[in-house]
Structure 1
Amino acid sequence: MKLVYAIFYEPESISAIFLLANLTSVALFSLISGAWPLSFVSTTVYAILVYLITRRLAIGHQYISNKNLTGKTVIVTGAATGIGRAAALDFAKSGARVIIGVRGQERAERIAQDLMHESNNGTVVGYDLDLSSLANIKAFADKVDRVDILVNNAGTIVSSYTVTTDGIEAQFGTNYVGHFYLTKLLLPHLMQSRVVNVSSFGHYFVPSNGIDFTFATLKNSYSRVHAYGISKLAQIWHASELTRRYGIKAYSLHPGGVSDTHIHQRNRLLDRILFQCGMVISKTVQQGCMTTLFCALSDDARPGHYHSNCCVREPSNLACDQRRAKECWEKTEELIAARVQV
């Protein structure tokens, strides 16, 4: 029941229902009457109105902050494209010193220069960050001397079973374990800071008996949706445990359905085409980063909780399970300890 309520709460769902209702009404009316009664001009006006209303419903709530972030340091992972780049640009425009984590040092520096130009000479620093490599994460963290806001945004979706440099299932290792380790290394700087984990609505689709942190049972029957959901569920648990264990203001969120992000670039061509067909009921990257900004800056965001559409929302029952959250934390500590020299 919670899943059904959550689905119909999301702006994309409301937008889709409105569009589907109009298309169905048009089809039924034409079928019953045997003809379309409106003129070409009336039909055009009607189509434009339906499109504009559909787009507005899909956008949902917007968060606009006037906070001056001068003197603050913000780290954004995965800021090369998508909502991470949009959020980094907004932070830079607000006066923050922004550190972006991007794969490849030259690429990171180039994107940092682009963001500085787009933000009207904001301060942006680009460092190489590969969240699928624990050694690379350590090298990145060693360069950081201050953090006021950490946005764990980077993510990946892969179609088949693969592992990271350290032998961890790729989505779990990159989306979650990499961010867990980065946060752990930066912990001395984070006690008075905010940590924002960009999770996903996809966490709802993880069955309570389907969690295997070793992914041994998934090697022969790999489901990218299942694996992705587990990685995003773990990010929610991570945020809640950070607040419970250390009192850190940590937040998790669903950014909404974003059409022009590059997270699906590794998927099959048909999947990418279908995803792009949903653009009319999805958000742009600027609209998709609104809940990220809300969690990073708003006093209305609640530490330890899950957010969506710039509001506090209830995640799945599994995401609310504190025992599982504690178990996930401990398993992750063991996973990392077995692969790095402490």
Structure 2
Amino acid sequence: MSSAAAGEKPTAAGWVTEHVSSQVGRTFVVTGANSGLGLETARALGTLGARVVMTARDRQRGEQAVELLRTEQPEGRFELLELDLADLDSVRRFAAGLDDFDVLINNAGVMAPPRGQTAQGHELQFGVNHLGHFALTGLVLDKLLRGRDPRVVTVTSGLHKRGRIHFDDLHGEHGYSRTKYYAQSKLANVVFALELNKRLRANGVPLKSVLAHPGYSATNLQSSGPTGVGKLLMKVTTRVLAQEAAMGALPQLYAATGSDVEGGQFYGPDGRGESRGFPTLVEPLEAARDRELAKRLWDISEELTGVKIPLLP
């Protein structure tokens, strides 16, 4: 996956045209698609001819995003469905209303908010970023398996490498830190996606579980969660250091569509520190491959969501 010929500076759109083939006839579900990485992913998929089911927690914002893409791409096939990953009842309703499809992109997330809870009482970041997507993946597994080259793409962060699963205080009731629990949720994404891949292979299920992270990309994620001085600092560093959201979306776009993608792979930016650049294969935190950790997280995720994924370890 070369980024460009020597001396050239390709655009994100040019990279997509060069590296990704037509997706006509395929349906993608993109969570959190009303802005940022999700919107850019939906936009690119639309140009490739895909049908894109975009999800949003806020219907008005979701409708605005769909209208924007339909204006840009009059022939595009964009649809909106409401989904609140902070409410497992909403996840169940959403999953029940889906038709068969080909690719699930678990993109939505929250970052570094004050401590909050989901509708079911789970710490907000762990609940939205991990538990909501864990439940959604399990609930739509049968619909994905009827798709063409089916995949689950789980979007994480380079900050997963700073994470630890706090089984003794999973919901931050006794020692909450915004960044610590964000890192926990992102590590949980990685552990889950790798374990899902192992179980799919062990059970002979023809579905690919793939990971992606966007590096440091300019989205509203950095401003919607942090508050006070943290929000101001994030705003400044994002303006100076971050790449555009269209670039940040490329790793998950490639994970979802690349013809040479295999289950268990992890895509991120090819620049220094994996903070920016074009997609390349990257490595997760080594601890994320720990099978005992993965089994423990899987079991507690099933318990907390009430969703049993029928795959033997």
TM-score by length of 2: 0.82
Q: Distance in 2 between matches of 1:230 and 1:75?
A: 25
Equivalent of residue 205 in structure 1, options 162, 176, 198: 162
Q: Which amino acid aligns with 1:150?
A: L
Equivalent residues of 1:176, 1:231 under 8 A apart:
yes
Task: Note the alpha carbon deviations across 1:274-313, whole angstroms, 9 max, x for none.
Answer: 2232233221010110101111111343311322111221
Q: Which amino acid aligns with 2:192?
A: H
Q: Distance in 2 between matches of 1:338 and 1:304?
A: 22
Task: Note the alpha carbon deviations across 1:227-249, whole angstroms, 9 max, x for none.
Answer: 11111111112211222112421
Equivalent residues of 1:241, 1:325 under 8 A apart:
yes
Q: Distance in 1 between matches of 2:262 and 2:192?
A: 15
> How far has the Cα of 1:179 moved from its partner?
0.6
Q: Distance in 2 between matches of 1:212 and 1:133?
A: 21
> How far has the Cα of 1:338 moved from its partner?
8.8
The alignment partner of 1:243 has SS state of helix
Q: Distance in 2 between matches of 1:294 and 1:212?
A: 33
Equivalent of residue 258 in structure 2, options 283, 291, 298: 298
Distance 1:121 1:93, change over 3 A: same
Q: Which amino acid aligns with 2:163?
A: V
Report the equivalent of 1:316: 285
Q: Distance in 2 between matches of 1:314 and 1:288?
A: 17
Q: Distance in 1 between matches of 2:223 and 2:301?
A: 26
Equivalent residues of 1:100, 1:126 under 8 A apart:
yes
Equivalent residues of 2:222, 2:234 under 8 A apart:
no
Equivalent residues of 1:95, 1:122 under 8 A apart:
yes
Equivalent residues of 1:259, 1:275 under 8 A apart:
no
The alignment partner of 1:319 has SS state of helix
Cα RMSD after superposing both structures: 2.4
Equivalent of residue 90 in structure 2, options 136, 139, 146: 136
Q: Distance in 2 between matches of 1:299 and 1:226?
A: 36
Q: How does 1:30-109 map to 2 (within 5 A)?
A: 64=17, 65-109=19-63
Report the equivalent of 2:71: 117
Q: How does 1:1-342 map to 2 (within 5 A)?
A: 64=17, 65-191=19-145, 192-207=149-164, 211-212=166-167, 215=170, 218-247=172-201, 248-278=207-237, 279-309=239-269, 310-337=279-306
Distance 1:84 1:243, change over 3 A: same
Any unmatched runs of 5+ in structure 2?
1-6, 202-206, 270-278, 309-313
Equivalent residues of 1:301, 1:311 under 8 A apart:
no
Q: Distance in 2 between matches of 1:199 and 1:263?
A: 14
Report the equivalent of 1:50: none
Q: Which amino acid aligns with 1:138?
A: R
Q: Distance in 2 between matches of 1:263 and 1:139?
A: 29
Report the equivalent of 2:275: none
Q: Which amino acid aligns with 1:251?
A: V
Q: Distance in 1 between matches of 2:134 and 2:73?
A: 30
Q: Distance in 1 between matches of 2:27 and 2:297?
A: 29
TM-score by length of 1: 0.76
Identity %: 31
> How far has the Cα of 1:270 moved from its partner?
2.4
Structure with the greater alpha carbon radius of gyration: 1
Q: Distance in 2 between matches of 1:93 and 1:161?
A: 39
The alignment partner of 1:186 has SS state of helix
> How far has the Cα of 1:117 moved from its partner?
1.6
> How far has the Cα of 1:214 moved from its partner?
5.1
Q: Distance in 1 between matches of 2:168 and 2:93?
A: 26
Q: Which amino acid aligns with 1:199?
A: T
Q: Give aligned pairs, total.
A: 280
> How far has the Cα of 1:63 moved from its partner?
5.0
285-294 or 98-107: which moved more? 98-107
Q: Distance in 2 between matches of 1:203 and 1:173?
A: 16
Q: Which amino acid aligns with 1:175?
A: N
Q: Which amino acid aligns with 2:254?
A: F
> How far has the Cα of 1:116 moved from its partner?
1.6
Q: Which amino acid aligns with 2:302?
A: E
